[in-house]
Structure 1
Amino acid sequence: MDGGTAALMSIGDFSRYSGLSVRMLRHYAERGVLVPVERDDQSGYRRYSPVQLSEAARVRMLRDAGCGIPAIAELLPLFAHPDALRSRLQDHLDDLAEQARRVADQRDLATHLLDALELRTRGPEVTERVFPALRVLYLRRTVADYPAEGSLWADFQGPYATLSADDPAVFGDVVGATYFDDEYRDADVEMAIWREYRGGAVPRGGFEVVDLPAQRVATVTHRGGFETIGDATAAAGAWLSAQRRTRTGPIFNVYAYGPGRDPDPSTWVTEVNVPIAG
Protein backbone atom coordinates (compact mmCIF):
# COMPACT_ATOMS: atom_id res chain seq x y z
CA MET A 1 0.00 0.00 0.00
CA ASP A 2 1.64 3.32 -1.05
CA GLY A 3 1.83 6.48 1.02
CA GLY A 4 -1.16 8.08 -0.70
CA THR A 5 -3.36 5.10 0.09
CA ALA A 6 -2.13 4.92 3.66
CA ALA A 7 -3.40 8.46 4.27
CA LEU A 8 -6.95 7.43 3.39
CA MET A 9 -9.56 6.41 5.95
CA SER A 10 -11.64 3.26 6.01
CA ILE A 11 -15.39 3.70 5.84
CA GLY A 12 -15.62 2.74 9.51
CA ASP A 13 -13.12 5.40 10.61
CA PHE A 14 -14.71 7.97 8.33
CA SER A 15 -18.12 7.13 9.82
CA ARG A 16 -16.79 7.58 13.37
CA TYR A 17 -15.23 10.98 12.69
CA SER A 18 -17.92 12.32 10.37
CA GLY A 19 -20.96 11.42 12.48
CA LEU A 20 -22.58 9.64 9.53
CA SER A 21 -23.45 5.96 9.71
CA VAL A 22 -21.81 3.46 7.39
CA ARG A 23 -25.23 2.67 5.95
CA MET A 24 -25.84 6.33 5.13
CA LEU A 25 -22.34 6.78 3.71
CA ARG A 26 -23.02 3.93 1.29
CA HIS A 27 -26.41 5.41 0.43
CA TYR A 28 -24.92 8.86 -0.18
CA ALA A 29 -22.19 7.38 -2.38
CA GLU A 30 -24.79 5.56 -4.48
CA ARG A 31 -26.56 8.88 -5.00
CA GLY A 32 -23.40 10.73 -5.97
CA VAL A 33 -22.94 12.51 -2.64
CA LEU A 34 -19.75 12.00 -0.60
CA VAL A 35 -18.29 9.50 -3.06
CA PRO A 36 -15.20 7.75 -1.60
CA VAL A 37 -11.95 8.63 -3.32
CA GLU A 38 -11.06 4.97 -3.65
CA ARG A 39 -13.04 1.75 -3.93
CA ASP A 40 -11.58 -1.72 -4.36
CA ASP A 41 -13.55 -3.48 -7.09
CA GLN A 42 -12.77 -6.93 -5.70
CA SER A 43 -13.30 -6.39 -1.97
CA GLY A 44 -15.71 -3.46 -2.20
CA TYR A 45 -13.72 -1.61 0.47
CA ARG A 46 -14.25 2.15 0.37
CA ARG A 47 -11.69 4.69 1.48
CA TYR A 48 -12.17 8.38 2.11
CA SER A 49 -9.80 11.30 2.26
CA PRO A 50 -9.62 13.19 5.55
CA VAL A 51 -10.29 16.31 3.49
CA GLN A 52 -13.81 14.95 2.91
CA LEU A 53 -14.64 15.32 6.61
CA SER A 54 -15.47 19.01 6.08
CA GLU A 55 -17.82 18.05 3.24
CA ALA A 56 -19.36 15.37 5.45
CA ALA A 57 -20.04 18.02 8.12
CA ARG A 58 -21.91 20.08 5.52
CA VAL A 59 -23.91 17.03 4.46
CA ARG A 60 -24.85 16.36 8.09
CA MET A 61 -25.92 19.98 8.68
CA LEU A 62 -28.01 20.09 5.50
CA ARG A 63 -29.62 16.74 6.39
CA ASP A 64 -30.46 17.95 9.89
CA ALA A 65 -31.86 21.16 8.41
CA GLY A 66 -34.44 19.09 6.52
CA CYS A 67 -32.77 18.79 3.12
CA GLY A 68 -33.26 15.59 1.19
CA ILE A 69 -30.48 13.97 -0.82
CA PRO A 70 -31.33 15.76 -4.10
CA ALA A 71 -31.20 19.11 -2.30
CA ILE A 72 -27.94 18.18 -0.55
CA ALA A 73 -26.38 17.26 -3.90
CA GLU A 74 -27.53 20.62 -5.30
CA LEU A 75 -26.37 22.70 -2.34
CA LEU A 76 -22.93 21.20 -1.64
CA PRO A 77 -21.21 22.82 -4.66
CA LEU A 78 -22.79 26.16 -3.74
CA PHE A 79 -20.65 26.46 -0.60
CA ALA A 80 -18.05 27.83 -3.01
CA HIS A 81 -20.59 30.47 -4.14
CA PRO A 82 -22.02 32.07 -0.96
CA ASP A 83 -24.49 34.40 -2.70
CA ALA A 84 -26.09 31.55 -4.63
CA LEU A 85 -26.09 29.38 -1.51
CA ARG A 86 -27.72 32.14 0.53
CA SER A 87 -30.53 32.50 -2.02
CA ARG A 88 -31.12 28.76 -2.22
CA LEU A 89 -31.13 28.37 1.56
CA GLN A 90 -33.70 31.15 1.83
CA ASP A 91 -35.92 29.19 -0.56
CA HIS A 92 -35.50 26.18 1.72
CA LEU A 93 -36.44 28.27 4.77
CA ASP A 94 -39.58 29.42 2.96
CA ASP A 95 -40.45 25.79 2.20
CA LEU A 96 -39.95 24.86 5.85
CA ALA A 97 -42.23 27.71 6.93
CA GLU A 98 -44.95 26.42 4.59
CA GLN A 99 -44.49 22.88 5.91
CA ALA A 100 -44.76 24.21 9.47
CA ARG A 101 -48.01 25.95 8.57
CA ARG A 102 -49.43 22.72 7.15
CA VAL A 103 -48.34 20.76 10.24
CA ALA A 104 -49.95 23.40 12.47
CA ASP A 105 -53.19 23.06 10.51
CA GLN A 106 -53.03 19.28 10.82
CA ARG A 107 -52.39 19.58 14.56
CA ASP A 108 -55.41 21.87 14.94
CA LEU A 109 -57.60 19.40 13.04
CA ALA A 110 -56.37 16.50 15.15
CA THR A 111 -57.09 18.52 18.31
CA HIS A 112 -60.58 19.31 17.00
CA LEU A 113 -61.24 15.63 16.35
CA LEU A 114 -59.97 14.65 19.79
CA ASP A 115 -62.07 17.30 21.51
CA ALA A 116 -65.15 16.15 19.60
CA LEU A 117 -64.57 12.55 20.68
CA GLU A 118 -63.93 13.43 24.31
CA LEU A 119 -66.86 15.81 24.58
CA ARG A 120 -69.13 13.58 22.48
CA THR A 121 -70.43 16.71 20.79
CA ARG A 122 -73.44 16.54 18.53
CA GLY A 123 -73.19 17.76 14.95
CA PRO A 124 -73.82 21.43 14.22
CA GLU A 125 -77.46 22.54 14.31
CA VAL A 126 -79.14 23.57 11.06
CA THR A 127 -81.79 26.29 11.06
CA GLU A 128 -84.04 27.49 8.26
CA ARG A 129 -84.53 31.23 7.81
CA VAL A 130 -84.90 34.03 5.28
CA PHE A 131 -81.68 35.92 4.62
CA PRO A 132 -82.71 39.54 3.98
CA ALA A 133 -82.05 41.49 0.80
CA LEU A 134 -78.77 43.33 1.01
CA ARG A 135 -76.92 45.96 -1.02
CA VAL A 136 -73.19 45.23 -1.02
CA LEU A 137 -69.84 46.32 -2.39
CA TYR A 138 -68.76 43.22 -4.25
CA LEU A 139 -65.50 41.82 -5.66
CA ARG A 140 -65.68 38.62 -7.73
CA ARG A 141 -62.66 36.70 -9.03
CA THR A 142 -61.22 33.25 -9.67
CA VAL A 143 -58.46 32.60 -7.13
CA ALA A 144 -55.88 29.84 -6.64
CA ASP A 145 -57.75 27.98 -3.88
CA TYR A 146 -60.08 28.58 -0.93
CA PRO A 147 -57.39 29.95 1.43
CA ALA A 148 -56.59 32.51 -1.27
CA GLU A 149 -59.80 34.26 -0.27
CA GLY A 150 -57.50 36.22 2.03
CA SER A 151 -55.90 37.88 -1.01
CA LEU A 152 -59.32 39.24 -2.04
CA TRP A 153 -59.87 40.71 1.40
CA ALA A 154 -56.43 42.32 1.18
CA ASP A 155 -57.52 43.99 -2.07
CA PHE A 156 -60.76 45.05 -0.38
CA GLN A 157 -58.93 46.86 2.42
CA GLY A 158 -57.81 49.87 0.36
CA PRO A 159 -61.24 50.87 -0.97
CA TYR A 160 -62.82 50.10 2.41
CA ALA A 161 -60.39 52.40 4.20
CA THR A 162 -60.82 55.20 1.65
CA LEU A 163 -64.61 55.09 1.50
CA SER A 164 -65.14 54.69 5.24
CA ALA A 165 -62.73 57.57 5.93
CA ASP A 166 -64.98 59.85 3.86
CA ASP A 167 -68.15 58.50 5.51
CA PRO A 168 -67.86 56.09 8.48
CA ALA A 169 -71.49 55.01 8.02
CA VAL A 170 -71.11 54.00 4.37
CA PHE A 171 -70.50 50.33 5.30
CA GLY A 172 -72.76 48.11 7.36
CA ASP A 173 -71.77 45.20 9.57
CA VAL A 174 -72.77 42.29 7.30
CA VAL A 175 -69.67 40.77 5.67
CA GLY A 176 -69.56 37.64 3.56
CA ALA A 177 -68.26 35.54 0.69
CA THR A 178 -70.09 33.58 -2.02
CA TYR A 179 -68.73 30.43 -3.69
CA PHE A 180 -69.94 29.79 -7.24
CA ASP A 181 -68.49 26.41 -8.17
CA ASP A 182 -71.01 23.57 -7.95
CA GLU A 183 -68.38 21.16 -6.64
CA TYR A 184 -65.49 21.51 -4.24
CA ARG A 185 -62.38 22.50 -6.16
CA ASP A 186 -58.72 22.07 -5.24
CA ALA A 187 -57.72 24.96 -7.52
CA ASP A 188 -59.16 27.82 -9.58
CA VAL A 189 -62.01 28.66 -7.23
CA GLU A 190 -64.58 31.25 -8.32
CA MET A 191 -65.78 33.38 -5.43
CA ALA A 192 -66.94 36.85 -4.48
CA ILE A 193 -66.40 38.75 -1.26
CA TRP A 194 -68.75 41.50 -0.18
CA ARG A 195 -69.78 43.92 2.55
CA GLU A 196 -73.02 45.73 3.22
CA TYR A 197 -72.75 49.09 1.45
CA ARG A 198 -74.82 52.28 1.51
CA GLY A 199 -72.67 54.39 -0.78
CA GLY A 200 -72.76 55.17 -4.47
CA ALA A 201 -69.07 55.29 -5.39
CA VAL A 202 -67.69 52.20 -7.15
CA PRO A 203 -63.93 51.67 -6.74
CA ARG A 204 -61.83 50.53 -9.67
CA GLY A 205 -60.27 47.08 -9.85
CA GLY A 206 -63.31 44.91 -10.53
CA PHE A 207 -65.58 46.18 -7.76
CA GLU A 208 -69.35 46.32 -8.24
CA VAL A 209 -72.32 47.44 -6.22
CA VAL A 210 -74.73 44.48 -6.16
CA ASP A 211 -78.22 44.01 -4.73
CA LEU A 212 -78.39 40.55 -3.19
CA PRO A 213 -82.00 39.31 -3.13
CA ALA A 214 -83.78 38.02 -0.07
CA GLN A 215 -83.63 34.23 -0.06
CA ARG A 216 -84.57 31.29 2.12
CA VAL A 217 -81.50 29.48 3.42
CA ALA A 218 -80.40 26.59 5.59
CA THR A 219 -77.88 28.07 8.03
CA VAL A 220 -75.21 26.39 10.14
CA THR A 221 -73.25 28.46 12.66
CA HIS A 222 -69.59 27.48 12.86
CA ARG A 223 -67.38 28.59 15.74
CA GLY A 224 -63.60 28.53 15.43
CA GLY A 225 -61.00 28.54 12.66
CA PHE A 226 -61.72 27.92 9.02
CA GLU A 227 -59.80 24.63 8.95
CA THR A 228 -62.86 22.89 10.45
CA ILE A 229 -65.58 24.79 8.62
CA GLY A 230 -66.16 21.67 6.51
CA ASP A 231 -68.09 20.30 9.49
CA ALA A 232 -70.70 23.01 8.99
CA THR A 233 -70.93 22.45 5.24
CA ALA A 234 -71.31 18.69 5.78
CA ALA A 235 -74.06 19.27 8.35
CA ALA A 236 -75.93 21.47 5.89
CA GLY A 237 -75.62 18.86 3.15
CA ALA A 238 -76.85 16.09 5.44
CA TRP A 239 -79.82 18.25 6.50
CA LEU A 240 -80.80 19.02 2.91
CA SER A 241 -80.69 15.32 2.06
CA ALA A 242 -82.72 14.30 5.12
CA GLN A 243 -85.30 17.03 4.49
CA ARG A 244 -85.39 16.29 0.75
CA ARG A 245 -84.62 19.91 0.03
CA THR A 246 -82.75 21.25 -3.00
CA ARG A 247 -80.02 23.85 -3.13
CA THR A 248 -81.16 26.73 -5.36
CA GLY A 249 -78.05 28.91 -5.50
CA PRO A 250 -74.41 29.24 -4.52
CA ILE A 251 -73.41 28.66 -0.90
CA PHE A 252 -72.32 31.79 0.94
CA ASN A 253 -70.71 32.54 4.28
CA VAL A 254 -71.49 35.43 6.59
CA TYR A 255 -68.61 36.36 8.88
CA ALA A 256 -70.50 37.35 12.01
CA TYR A 257 -67.22 37.69 13.89
CA GLY A 258 -64.02 37.08 12.00
CA PRO A 259 -60.33 37.84 11.46
CA GLY A 260 -61.05 41.50 10.80
CA ARG A 261 -62.17 41.91 14.41
CA ASP A 262 -59.96 39.46 16.27
CA PRO A 263 -56.90 37.48 15.10
CA ASP A 264 -57.75 34.66 17.55
CA PRO A 265 -59.57 31.91 15.57
CA SER A 266 -61.24 30.58 18.72
CA THR A 267 -63.46 33.69 18.73
CA TRP A 268 -64.57 33.51 15.10
CA VAL A 269 -68.22 32.91 14.23
CA THR A 270 -69.14 32.05 10.64
CA GLU A 271 -72.63 31.38 9.29
CA VAL A 272 -72.65 28.90 6.39
CA ASN A 273 -75.76 29.49 4.27
CA VAL A 274 -77.24 27.21 1.59
CA PRO A 275 -80.06 28.76 -0.49
CA ILE A 276 -83.11 26.50 -0.64
CA ALA A 277 -86.54 26.63 -2.22
CA GLY A 278 -89.18 28.36 -0.14
Structure 2
Amino acid sequence: MPGMTHHGDALLSIGDFSRYARISVRMLRHYDERGLLAPADVDPYTGYRRYAPEQLRLAGRIRSLRDAGCGIPLIAELLPLFQESPATLHDRLEAHVAGLDEAAEQLAAQRRLARSLIAGIDAALPVVAERTFAPARVLALQRTVACYPAEGELWSDLRDLLASPAEVDPSLFGDLTGATYFDAEYRDDDVEMAIWREYHGPFTPRRGFEIVDLPARRVAWTTHRGEFETIGRATQALGEWIAQHGRTQVGPVFTVYVVGPGRVSDPEQWVTEVNIPIA
Protein backbone atom coordinates (compact mmCIF):
# COMPACT_ATOMS: atom_id res chain seq x y z
CA MET A 1 0.00 0.00 0.00
CA PRO A 2 1.22 3.55 -0.58
CA GLY A 3 3.12 4.85 2.40
CA MET A 4 4.02 1.37 3.67
CA THR A 5 7.67 0.54 4.18
CA HIS A 6 8.99 -2.98 4.33
CA HIS A 7 12.32 -4.70 4.34
CA GLY A 8 12.86 -6.37 0.99
CA ASP A 9 12.90 -9.88 2.42
CA ALA A 10 9.49 -9.27 4.11
CA LEU A 11 7.74 -8.78 0.78
CA LEU A 12 6.16 -11.43 -1.40
CA SER A 13 6.70 -11.76 -5.11
CA ILE A 14 3.58 -11.29 -7.21
CA GLY A 15 3.69 -15.00 -8.02
CA ASP A 16 3.78 -16.06 -4.37
CA PHE A 17 1.16 -13.50 -3.44
CA SER A 18 -1.05 -14.79 -6.27
CA ARG A 19 -0.69 -18.34 -4.98
CA TYR A 20 -1.48 -17.51 -1.36
CA ALA A 21 -4.33 -15.11 -2.18
CA ARG A 22 -5.76 -17.44 -4.84
CA ILE A 23 -6.04 -14.53 -7.25
CA SER A 24 -4.42 -14.70 -10.67
CA VAL A 25 -1.52 -12.41 -11.52
CA ARG A 26 -3.63 -10.91 -14.30
CA MET A 27 -6.38 -9.98 -11.82
CA LEU A 28 -3.85 -8.62 -9.31
CA ARG A 29 -2.61 -6.25 -11.99
CA HIS A 30 -6.22 -5.35 -12.80
CA TYR A 31 -7.01 -4.61 -9.15
CA ASP A 32 -3.92 -2.43 -9.00
CA GLU A 33 -5.07 -0.47 -12.06
CA ARG A 34 -8.53 -0.01 -10.49
CA GLY A 35 -7.08 1.20 -7.19
CA LEU A 36 -8.23 -1.75 -5.10
CA LEU A 37 -4.95 -3.47 -4.27
CA ALA A 38 -1.74 -1.64 -5.02
CA PRO A 39 1.57 -3.49 -4.51
CA ALA A 40 3.59 -2.51 -1.46
CA ASP A 41 6.60 -1.98 -3.67
CA VAL A 42 7.21 -1.56 -7.41
CA ASP A 43 10.77 -1.64 -8.74
CA PRO A 44 11.19 1.64 -10.66
CA TYR A 45 13.48 -0.01 -13.21
CA THR A 46 11.91 -3.41 -13.82
CA GLY A 47 8.31 -2.70 -12.80
CA TYR A 48 8.47 -5.84 -10.66
CA ARG A 49 5.66 -5.83 -8.08
CA ARG A 50 5.91 -7.10 -4.54
CA TYR A 51 3.28 -7.31 -1.83
CA ALA A 52 3.31 -7.17 1.97
CA PRO A 53 2.11 -10.34 3.74
CA GLU A 54 -0.58 -8.39 5.61
CA GLN A 55 -2.12 -7.46 2.23
CA LEU A 56 -3.30 -11.06 1.93
CA ARG A 57 -6.22 -10.23 4.22
CA LEU A 58 -7.26 -7.37 1.92
CA ALA A 59 -6.89 -9.65 -1.09
CA GLY A 60 -9.10 -12.23 0.61
CA ARG A 61 -11.81 -9.64 1.16
CA ILE A 62 -11.63 -8.59 -2.48
CA ARG A 63 -11.86 -12.19 -3.65
CA SER A 64 -14.81 -12.94 -1.34
CA LEU A 65 -16.72 -9.84 -2.43
CA ARG A 66 -16.01 -10.64 -6.06
CA ASP A 67 -17.20 -14.23 -5.68
CA ALA A 68 -20.31 -12.95 -3.88
CA GLY A 69 -21.30 -11.06 -7.02
CA CYS A 70 -19.96 -7.60 -6.19
CA GLY A 71 -18.57 -5.59 -9.08
CA ILE A 72 -15.44 -3.45 -8.90
CA PRO A 73 -17.28 -0.19 -7.99
CA LEU A 74 -19.16 -1.88 -5.15
CA ILE A 75 -16.02 -3.60 -3.88
CA ALA A 76 -14.27 -0.23 -3.81
CA GLU A 77 -17.13 1.17 -1.69
CA LEU A 78 -17.25 -1.76 0.70
CA LEU A 79 -13.56 -2.38 1.40
CA PRO A 80 -13.02 0.65 3.67
CA LEU A 81 -16.11 -0.27 5.67
CA PHE A 82 -14.43 -3.39 7.07
CA GLN A 83 -12.37 -1.07 9.26
CA GLU A 84 -14.35 2.18 9.32
CA SER A 85 -17.92 0.98 9.89
CA PRO A 86 -18.70 -2.74 10.22
CA ALA A 87 -22.34 -1.87 10.96
CA THR A 88 -22.68 0.00 7.67
CA LEU A 89 -20.91 -2.87 5.90
CA HIS A 90 -23.47 -5.26 7.39
CA ASP A 91 -26.36 -3.17 6.05
CA ARG A 92 -24.79 -2.80 2.60
CA LEU A 93 -24.19 -6.53 2.35
CA GLU A 94 -27.76 -7.26 3.45
CA ALA A 95 -28.96 -4.99 0.63
CA HIS A 96 -26.71 -6.86 -1.78
CA VAL A 97 -28.17 -10.19 -0.62
CA ALA A 98 -31.68 -8.84 -1.23
CA GLY A 99 -30.63 -7.90 -4.75
CA LEU A 100 -29.22 -11.37 -5.32
CA ASP A 101 -32.48 -12.92 -4.08
CA GLU A 102 -34.47 -10.80 -6.54
CA ALA A 103 -32.12 -11.72 -9.37
CA ALA A 104 -32.40 -15.40 -8.43
CA GLU A 105 -36.21 -15.20 -8.57
CA GLN A 106 -36.05 -13.56 -12.00
CA LEU A 107 -33.60 -16.20 -13.22
CA ALA A 108 -35.82 -18.99 -11.86
CA ALA A 109 -38.82 -17.49 -13.65
CA GLN A 110 -36.83 -17.29 -16.89
CA ARG A 111 -35.78 -20.91 -16.48
CA ARG A 112 -39.37 -22.01 -15.93
CA LEU A 113 -40.49 -20.07 -18.98
CA ALA A 114 -37.73 -21.61 -21.10
CA ARG A 115 -38.84 -25.06 -19.92
CA SER A 116 -42.44 -24.26 -20.81
CA LEU A 117 -41.34 -23.11 -24.26
CA ILE A 118 -39.58 -26.41 -24.78
CA ALA A 119 -42.67 -28.32 -23.64
CA GLY A 120 -44.95 -26.21 -25.81
CA ILE A 121 -43.03 -26.43 -29.08
CA ASP A 122 -45.37 -29.09 -30.44
CA ALA A 123 -48.35 -28.24 -28.25
CA ALA A 124 -51.65 -27.25 -29.82
CA LEU A 125 -53.16 -23.84 -29.11
CA PRO A 126 -55.58 -23.73 -26.18
CA VAL A 127 -59.14 -24.64 -27.10
CA VAL A 128 -61.50 -21.65 -26.88
CA ALA A 129 -65.25 -21.96 -26.33
CA GLU A 130 -68.22 -19.73 -25.56
CA ARG A 131 -70.41 -19.97 -22.47
CA THR A 132 -72.58 -18.01 -20.08
CA PHE A 133 -70.79 -17.28 -16.83
CA ALA A 134 -73.32 -17.54 -14.01
CA PRO A 135 -73.91 -14.61 -11.63
CA ALA A 136 -72.13 -14.80 -8.31
CA ARG A 137 -71.97 -12.95 -5.01
CA VAL A 138 -68.35 -12.48 -4.00
CA LEU A 139 -66.21 -10.89 -1.34
CA ALA A 140 -63.81 -8.69 -3.32
CA LEU A 141 -60.74 -6.54 -2.76
CA GLN A 142 -59.88 -4.06 -5.55
CA ARG A 143 -56.61 -2.12 -5.65
CA THR A 144 -53.89 -0.78 -7.91
CA VAL A 145 -50.73 -2.82 -7.41
CA ALA A 146 -47.17 -2.52 -8.72
CA CYS A 147 -47.43 -5.27 -11.34
CA TYR A 148 -49.35 -8.43 -12.17
CA PRO A 149 -47.23 -10.71 -9.95
CA ALA A 150 -48.09 -8.38 -7.04
CA GLU A 151 -51.56 -9.94 -7.08
CA GLY A 152 -50.22 -12.12 -4.28
CA GLU A 153 -50.35 -9.10 -1.97
CA LEU A 154 -54.14 -8.99 -2.30
CA TRP A 155 -54.47 -12.70 -1.54
CA SER A 156 -52.26 -12.16 1.52
CA ASP A 157 -54.70 -9.49 2.70
CA LEU A 158 -57.55 -11.96 2.24
CA ARG A 159 -55.70 -14.57 4.30
CA ASP A 160 -55.30 -11.97 7.04
CA LEU A 161 -59.04 -11.30 6.93
CA LEU A 162 -59.81 -15.01 7.12
CA ALA A 163 -57.65 -15.20 10.24
CA SER A 164 -60.28 -13.05 12.00
CA PRO A 165 -63.36 -15.28 12.46
CA ALA A 166 -65.26 -12.30 13.91
CA GLU A 167 -65.11 -10.57 10.50
CA VAL A 168 -65.96 -13.42 8.12
CA ASP A 169 -67.30 -16.94 8.51
CA PRO A 170 -65.00 -19.34 6.58
CA SER A 171 -67.82 -21.87 6.32
CA LEU A 172 -69.83 -19.44 4.16
CA PHE A 173 -67.34 -19.28 1.29
CA GLY A 174 -68.16 -21.07 -1.96
CA ASP A 175 -65.79 -22.76 -4.39
CA LEU A 176 -65.59 -19.91 -6.93
CA THR A 177 -62.32 -17.99 -6.66
CA GLY A 178 -60.85 -15.56 -9.15
CA ALA A 179 -59.41 -12.21 -10.14
CA THR A 180 -60.47 -9.40 -12.47
CA TYR A 181 -58.06 -7.13 -14.39
CA PHE A 182 -59.53 -3.71 -15.15
CA ASP A 183 -56.90 -2.01 -17.31
CA ALA A 184 -57.88 -1.78 -20.98
CA GLU A 185 -54.36 -2.62 -22.08
CA TYR A 186 -51.54 -4.72 -20.67
CA ARG A 187 -49.49 -2.67 -18.22
CA ASP A 188 -45.99 -3.28 -16.89
CA ASP A 189 -46.77 -1.39 -13.70
CA ASP A 190 -49.61 0.23 -11.73
CA VAL A 191 -52.11 -2.53 -12.51
CA GLU A 192 -55.70 -2.19 -11.31
CA MET A 193 -57.17 -5.52 -10.29
CA ALA A 194 -59.51 -7.22 -7.87
CA ILE A 195 -59.38 -10.62 -6.23
CA TRP A 196 -62.58 -12.28 -5.08
CA ARG A 197 -64.13 -15.37 -3.50
CA GLU A 198 -67.72 -16.51 -3.56
CA TYR A 199 -69.31 -15.65 -0.20
CA HIS A 200 -72.81 -16.33 1.11
CA GLY A 201 -72.73 -14.54 4.45
CA PRO A 202 -73.25 -11.01 5.74
CA PHE A 203 -70.32 -8.60 5.55
CA THR A 204 -69.76 -4.97 6.46
CA PRO A 205 -67.19 -3.32 4.13
CA ARG A 206 -63.81 -3.01 5.86
CA ARG A 207 -60.09 -3.37 5.16
CA GLY A 208 -60.89 -2.50 1.52
CA PHE A 209 -63.13 -5.57 1.13
CA GLU A 210 -66.74 -5.35 0.01
CA ILE A 211 -69.51 -7.58 -1.31
CA VAL A 212 -69.84 -7.43 -5.11
CA ASP A 213 -72.56 -9.03 -7.22
CA LEU A 214 -70.97 -10.32 -10.42
CA PRO A 215 -73.58 -10.35 -13.21
CA ALA A 216 -74.21 -13.16 -15.64
CA ARG A 217 -72.01 -12.67 -18.69
CA ARG A 218 -71.47 -14.26 -22.07
CA VAL A 219 -67.75 -15.04 -22.27
CA ALA A 220 -65.12 -16.57 -24.49
CA TRP A 221 -63.02 -18.79 -22.28
CA THR A 222 -60.20 -21.27 -22.25
CA THR A 223 -58.29 -23.33 -19.71
CA HIS A 224 -54.66 -22.64 -18.86
CA ARG A 225 -52.63 -25.30 -17.08
CA GLY A 226 -49.40 -24.55 -15.27
CA GLU A 227 -47.68 -21.47 -13.92
CA PHE A 228 -48.90 -17.97 -14.57
CA GLU A 229 -45.84 -16.81 -16.54
CA THR A 230 -47.16 -18.70 -19.56
CA ILE A 231 -50.78 -17.57 -19.35
CA GLY A 232 -50.16 -15.37 -22.39
CA ARG A 233 -50.86 -18.41 -24.58
CA ALA A 234 -54.42 -18.38 -23.26
CA THR A 235 -55.03 -14.67 -23.87
CA GLN A 236 -53.51 -14.96 -27.35
CA ALA A 237 -55.86 -17.81 -28.23
CA LEU A 238 -58.83 -15.86 -26.87
CA GLY A 239 -57.89 -12.75 -28.84
CA GLU A 240 -57.57 -14.77 -32.03
CA TRP A 241 -60.93 -16.49 -31.46
CA ILE A 242 -62.75 -13.21 -30.74
CA ALA A 243 -61.36 -11.60 -33.90
CA GLN A 244 -62.08 -14.59 -36.12
CA HIS A 245 -65.67 -14.88 -34.87
CA GLY A 246 -66.43 -11.19 -35.23
CA ARG A 247 -67.09 -10.70 -31.54
CA THR A 248 -66.34 -7.69 -29.33
CA GLN A 249 -64.87 -7.61 -25.85
CA VAL A 250 -67.33 -5.84 -23.55
CA GLY A 251 -65.77 -6.19 -20.12
CA PRO A 252 -62.50 -6.76 -18.28
CA VAL A 253 -60.64 -10.05 -18.46
CA PHE A 254 -61.13 -12.25 -15.42
CA THR A 255 -59.72 -15.55 -14.28
CA VAL A 256 -61.16 -18.39 -12.23
CA TYR A 257 -58.67 -20.37 -10.18
CA VAL A 258 -59.93 -23.93 -10.40
CA VAL A 259 -56.73 -25.23 -8.81
CA GLY A 260 -54.38 -22.52 -7.62
CA PRO A 261 -51.43 -21.87 -5.31
CA GLY A 262 -53.79 -21.78 -2.34
CA ARG A 263 -54.58 -25.45 -2.86
CA VAL A 264 -51.39 -26.99 -4.24
CA SER A 265 -47.82 -25.71 -4.36
CA ASP A 266 -46.79 -27.47 -7.59
CA PRO A 267 -47.34 -25.02 -10.51
CA GLU A 268 -47.72 -27.92 -12.94
CA GLN A 269 -50.99 -28.80 -11.21
CA TRP A 270 -52.49 -25.30 -11.38
CA VAL A 271 -55.63 -24.94 -13.50
CA THR A 272 -56.85 -21.46 -14.44
CA GLU A 273 -59.87 -20.55 -16.54
CA VAL A 274 -59.37 -17.31 -18.48
CA ASN A 275 -62.55 -15.47 -19.45
CA ILE A 276 -63.28 -12.47 -21.68
CA PRO A 277 -66.83 -11.01 -21.72
CA ILE A 278 -68.06 -10.72 -25.30
CA ALA A 279 -70.97 -9.44 -27.34
Question: Same fold, TM exceeding 0.5?
Answer: yes
Q: Paired residue for 2:34? A: 31
Q: Paired residue for 1:105? A: 109
Aligned equivalent of 1:181, options 180, 183, 188: 183
CA distance in 2, matches of 1:108, 1:209: 36
Give the residue type in structure 2 aligned to 1:24.
M
Normalised TM-score (structure 1): 0.89
8 Å CA contact 2:139–2:197 kept in 1: the answer is: yes
Question: Would you say 1:218 and 2:226 are equivalent positions?
Answer: no
- Counterpart of 1:35 in 2: which secondary structure? coil
Q: Aligned residue pairs: how many?
A: 274
Aligned equivalent of 1:253, options 242, 252, 255: 255
Aligned equivalent of 1:138, options 140, 158, 174: 140
Q: Paired residue for 1:194? A: 196
Give the residue type in structure 2 aligned to 1:276.
I
CA distance in 2, matches of 1:111, 1:21: 37
Question: Would you say 1:87 and 2:82 are equivalent positions?
Answer: no
Normalised TM-score (structure 2): 0.89
List gaps (5 residues or longer) in structure 1. none
CA distance in 1, matches of 2:32, 2:173: 65
Q: Paired residue for 2:57? A: 54
Q: Paired residue for 2:232? A: 230
Give the residue type in structure 1 aligned to 2:54.
V
- Counterpart of 1:162 in 2: which secondary structure? coil
8 Å CA contact 1:139–1:193 kept in 2: the answer is: yes
- Counterpart of 1:266 in 2: which secondary structure? helix
Q: 1:168: how far off?
A: 4.2
Q: Paired residue for 2:68? A: 65
CA distance in 1, matches of 2:123, 2:15: 58
CA distance in 1, matches of 2:6, 2:40: 15
CA distance in 2, matches of 1:61, 1:129: 60
Question: Would you say 1:15 and 2:18 are equivalent positions?
Answer: yes
Offset from partner CA, 1:119-178 (integer Å, 9 cap, x none): x21011111111111111111111111111001111111323435986444221111111
Offset from partner CA, 1:13-68 (integer Å, 9 cap, x none): 43233221222222222322112334467765444322211111111111112222
Offset from partner CA, 1:240-263 (integer Å, 9 cap, x none): 222232211111111111111112
State the percentage of identical aligned residues.
59
> Alpha carbon RMSD of aligned pairs, Å?
2.3
